[in-house]
Amino acid sequence: MIRKKLELVPDEESKAQPLFDTEQAYQEFQVSLQQEVKGELDRQREARRQSEERAKRCLIS
């Protein structure tokens, strides 16, 4: 098997750049993302619960 180097831009060297300047910046991003996602998941969970309750009431009546 012949291995070839993937070139994103032909004849240009790609240099990886860190997304965050410091470990602390990464930690802050991680915490804020978790809080944001948790809030959305909680809202979806509650909406699903309410929908299931309505469906059960419709089936029972």
Q: Is 10 left (phi over 0), alpha (psi -120 to 50) or beta?
A: beta
Residue-level pLDDT at 7: 67
The tens digit of pLDDT for each residue in 31-61 reads: 999 999 999 999 999 999 999 999 999 988 7
- pLDDT tens column, 4-41: 666 677 767 666 677 889 999 999 999 999 999 999 99
- Per-residue confidence (pLDDT) for residue 17, from 0 to 100: 75
Per DSSP, the residues of the chain read -------SSTT-------S-SSHHHHHHHHHHHHHHHHHHHHHHHHHHHHHHHHHHHHHH-
